[in-house]
Amino acid sequence: MNKPLIQVSNVSVAFKVKDRIVNAVKNASFNVYQGDIFGIIGSSGAGKSTLVRTLNRLASPTQGQIYVNGTNIASLKGKDLQQFRFDVGMIFQNFNLASSKTVYDNIAFVLKAAGKRGLAVEQRVKELLKLVSLTDKANAYPAELSGGQKQRVGIARALANDAKILLCDEATSALDPQTTTSILDLLKQLNREFKLTIVLITHEIDVIKKICNRVAVMSQGEIVELNNTFDLFASPQQAFTQSFLNIDENTALPSKVKKNAKGKLVRLRYINENATEPVLFQSAKQTNVSFNILHGFIEYFNDQALGNLVVELIGANDDISSLIHLLKSYHVIVEEVK
């Protein structure tokens, strides 16, 4: 495995509010690798924003360390700190654009802050506007833009000084589903074309499914589970993750169907869309079990397919056990439906 670009090691963040301590982040550890689109998901107040803000020093850990490219970011000062701020861009739910500046000037401002002048600024702004498909809006003010367009300006500004890492704090939460998709497509394109590493926080499961390759699940300040996206959805280990990701909800059966079922109800998750139905069919035949498919769908995570089936197994108990055993040997995840 290559070296992590971001290494978060036992990070805790506590806030003192009057005479009370709020432990917003508790002992979080994880690595982000170059080219990752790393998602942090959790409900409101889980500590996601606080955690992501420690990655660019907008928040300071009360305990633990964060290394970016091998450097402990707490030790950065002067020019190194300034360079670090250029290397790590950030976009926000409410866009944070300067309302009195045009689109052009919002982007030019951060280039000038990095010491660029004249033609270098002009060329770079043009390049960035083209990249985010806003060339025709250079002279517009933020109030004249849609939410999606505002976020595109936010992205251009965050990347202006050649950022290597982009932090996204609920960047699509204020957008409608179609605009969300177009912003996620843009982030994916930037990730692909420039190997931009992205850390995003969201409470939206669909955002995770659409673009993240790895995910941390947060609850009450803790990372309760971390996995690649596909495996997290295929086989969530923690009860919190299962209920938060609504895993069972997607294949919930009407109570009448459950009540009328004569056989054993099982949920099958499989990772090879082509193999499973033949595998189920042949395994059932081999073990003398018959089955009814009660629910089924296939979900896609990038190019990987995750099949979900709820089936009723009818046969002798021993035969059903043999069938389940056989299915598991084909890497089908089998869970009893209660």
Q: What is the largest CA-CA distance in the chain?
A: 81
- Residue 22 interacting with ligand ATP (CB under 6 A): yes
Looking at residues 266 to 295 of the shown chain, list those that interact with ligand ATP (rule: CB under 6 A): none
- Residue 17 interacting with ligand ATP (CB under 6 A): yes
- Residue 99 interacting with ligand ATP (CB under 6 A): no
For ligand ATP, the closer CB: 112 or 203? 203
- Residue 48 interacting with ligand ATP (CB under 6 A): yes
- Residue 49 interacting with ligand ATP (CB under 6 A): yes
Task: Tell me the closest approach of the beta carbon of residue 180 to ligand ATP, in angstroms.
Answer: 16
Q: In what order do the strands lie in the sheet with 88-92?
A: 88-92, 165-169, 197-202, 37-42, 214-219, 222-228
- Residue 137 interacting with ligand ATP (CB under 6 A): no
For residues 6 and 3, give the distance between their C-alpha atoms in angstroms, rounded to a whole number: 9
Tell how strand 165-169 and strand 197-202 pair up.
parallel
Residues 6+ apart with CB under 8 A from 182: 148
Task: Tell me the closest approach of the beta carbon of residue 25 to ligand ATP, in angstroms.
Answer: 7
For ligand ATP, the closer CB: 10 or 139? 10
- Residue 224 interacting with ligand ATP (CB under 6 A): no
Which amino acid belongs to residue 106?
N
Stretch touching ligand ATP by CB under 6 A, among 37-45, 68-76, 150-158, 270-278 = 37-45
Backbone angles phi, psi at 131, to 5 degrees: -60, -40
- Residue 42 interacting with ligand ATP (CB under 6 A): yes
- Residue 204 interacting with ligand ATP (CB under 6 A): no
Task: Tell me the closest approach of the beta carbon of residue 276 to ligand ATP, in angstroms.
Answer: 36
Residue 86 DSSP one-character state? H
- Residue 50 interacting with ligand ATP (CB under 6 A): yes
HEC sequence for 227-253: EEHHHHHHCCCCHHHHHHCCCCHHHCC
Contact 213, 228 (CB under 8 A): yes
Among 156, 161, 162, CA closest to 134: 156
Task: Tell me the closest approach of the beta carbon of residue 39 to ligand ATP, in angstroms.
Answer: 13
Q: Contact residues for ligand ATP (CB under 6 A)?
A: 15, 17, 22, 24, 42, 44-50, 203
